[in-house]
Amino acid sequence: MGKHALLSASSSHRWLNCPPSARLCESYEDKSSEYAAEGTSAHMLCEYKLKVALGIRAKDPTADLSFYNAEMEDCANGYAVYILELVEMAKQSCADPVVLIEQRLDFSKYVEGGFGTGDCLVIADGTLHIVDYKHGQGVLVEVEDNPQMKLYALGALEIFDGIYDIDTVSMTIYQPRRDNVSTYTVFKESLYQWAEEILKPTAELAYAGDGEFNCGEWCQFCKVKHECRARAERNLELARYDFKLPPLLEDDEVEDILGKIDSLISWANDIKNYALQ
Ligand code: SF4
């Protein structure tokens, strides 16, 4: 995994929702977490297992991995089997599907400096398949309308649309530790429309450091989440309910608070952790 672009695919859910966050996060270092290191090891093992399954020569990375256990081995084996099944399926409509592993995908046509790495692409006439392996289990990754996957898809179309006769793009999140293997399929044209109408203008705002601050569940992945004024103001606005006696709250107020309480707790914990560092 290389150095992250300012507007990376993996952070796109955040900067698409809150464009000014991109420049704000820029001066903060990437803190490598244990989870990230574990994910890197899992990806290396997956890559190796898949290559072997496809008959491609590859060096076994196991001895050099910073993390390795039986669960990771099972996950990587399962991933390789899943891709083989996908390839077999693709062969039903195309005699010579192409399989690409750890493919660099450039979507800079829509997002300044934008690139990422697709774990696996299976390209056949009709459908382009993109599979992303997620080793984490903390957050269930939704595939539907997932911007990271859509950016990868645009990067893949940039290379293969025209060479292959592609109508639809099929995006799959393979997250074995959450029993989550889910696929989202869209027409190529709807991706291009999203890219022109939503992605490109929002990326321009983000690149320029413009746009509106917007809090939401994406804040949990933001490097400035501890100090962000917009997030503090939003949560302090919610916290004002604390000054009312609970019996005086109307049902709709309780409902309103309940809907936001997770975000308040998450923000309060972030502030506490930051202050106690
Ligand atoms: S914490 Fe949330 S609102 Fe603040 S910059 Fe980050 S994403 Fe935007």
How does pLDDT run across 188-217, given as a tens digit for each residue?
999 999 999 999 999 999 999 999 999 998
Q: Are 133 and 82 in contact (CB under 8 A)?
A: no
For the domain spanning 12-208, the CATH number is: 3.90.320
79-83 long-range contacts, Cβ below 8 Å, gap at least 24?
A: 79/46, 79/49, 79/50, 79/133, 79/174, 79/176, 80/46, 80/49, 80/50, 80/52, 80/53, 81/53, 82/131, 82/174, 82/181, 83/50, 83/53, 83/54, 83/120, 83/122, 83/131
- Cα of 250 vs centre of ligand 1, distance in Å, is 30
3-class secondary structure, 184: strand
Q: From the first residue on, what is the mean pLDDT of each consecutive set of 10 residues in the chain (277 residues)?
A: 72 96 87 83 97 96 94 98 95 88 95 94 92 93 96 95 91 97 97 98 97 92 87 76 59 77 81 72
Predicted-assembly ipTM surpassing the 0.95 threshold: yes
Write the single-letter amino acid at 234.
R
Question: For atom 7 of ligand 1, which residue has the closest CA?
Answer: 219
Pocket of ligand 1 (CB under 6 A): 14, 18, 21, 24, 213, 215, 218-219, 222, 224-225, 228, 230-231
3-state DSSP assignment of residue 28: coil
> 24: CA distance to ligand 1 center in Å?
9
CATH 3.90.320 spans which residues of the chain? 12-208
